[in-house]
Structure 1
Amino acid sequence: MSKKSNTSKRYTLEFKCDAVALVYSSGKTVTEIARDIGVSPEGLRNWVNQDKTDRGQGPAGVLTTAEREELVRLRRKVREMEQTIEVLGKATAFFANHKTK
């Protein structure tokens, strides 16, 4: 009896692009191509849908890859700024307490 790994495989961007191009050009279903190249059908379907979104053909309100990357970058920056503000607040309180003594 074999166990499936809980860790997901990571595929290169080039592999994903080639797989999506194969879906568009082959005339086969996503499931058939996924079986042929050894990926999950749902994973390949997600890659195709994201490609359509990146090309401006996806549903309204869905983020493009570039927008997702920017969102991650901005959330990280906000988190860093919040930590900086917290440290500065604590430092201000510390020095205010020591000045009055």
Structure 2
Amino acid sequence: MPAPWKYPDELRERAVREARASGRPMAHVAKDLGIHKEALRGWVRQAEADKGDRPDPLTTAERTELAHLRKEIAELRRANEILKAASVFPRRSSTSPARG
């Protein structure tokens, strides 16, 4: 499955600046820039979180760290499953006589 399309970072930054500075409704700014109003609303919220103006959402750095930690947890869970599966096989002792 191809990766979802993303707006260029320059457009995001410009849109957030314009939405904050203009004082106009976000829907009007979004329409002028040719983007969806909810995309602009989300970008402004994220920019406010990154700046520390909004305490509720995660910052971009926190989102990046969270994604990294989730990936690491998934890898550790896979490794644990492999170890559990391997532990059900009896181990041969190097001192036991060879069969055959």
- What TM-score, normalized by structure 2, do the two folds share? 0.79
Are positions 1:11 and 2:11 aligned together?
Answer: no
Aligned residue among 18, 26, 29 for 2:25? 29
1:28 shift after superposition? 2.3
- What is the alpha-carbon root mean square deviation over aligned residues? 2.0
Task: Tell me the matched-pair count.
Answer: 91
State the distance in 2 between where 1:99 and 1:76 align: 35
Which residue in 2 is equivalent to 1:68?
63
Moved over 4 A (4+): none
More helix per residue: 1
State the distance in 2 between where 1:41 and 1:62 align: 19
Unpaired stretches in structure 2, ≥5 consecutive residues: 94-98
Which residue in 1 is equivalent to 2:92?
99
Aligned residue among 30, 38, 41 for 1:42? 38
Do the aligned partners of residues 62 and 51 (structure 1) sit closer, same or farther apart at CA in structure 2, a change above 3 Å counting? same
State the distance in 1 between where 2:62 and 2:9 align: 17
Identity of aligned residues (%): 35
- What TM-score, normalized by structure 1, do the two folds share? 0.78
1:83 shift after superposition? 0.2
1:27 shift after superposition? 3.1
Q: Is the radius of gyration larger for structure 1 or structure 2?
A: 2
Which residue in 1 is equivalent to 2:75?
80
Unpaired stretches in structure 1, ≥5 consecutive residues: 1-7
State the distance in 1 between where 2:31 and 2:11 align: 15
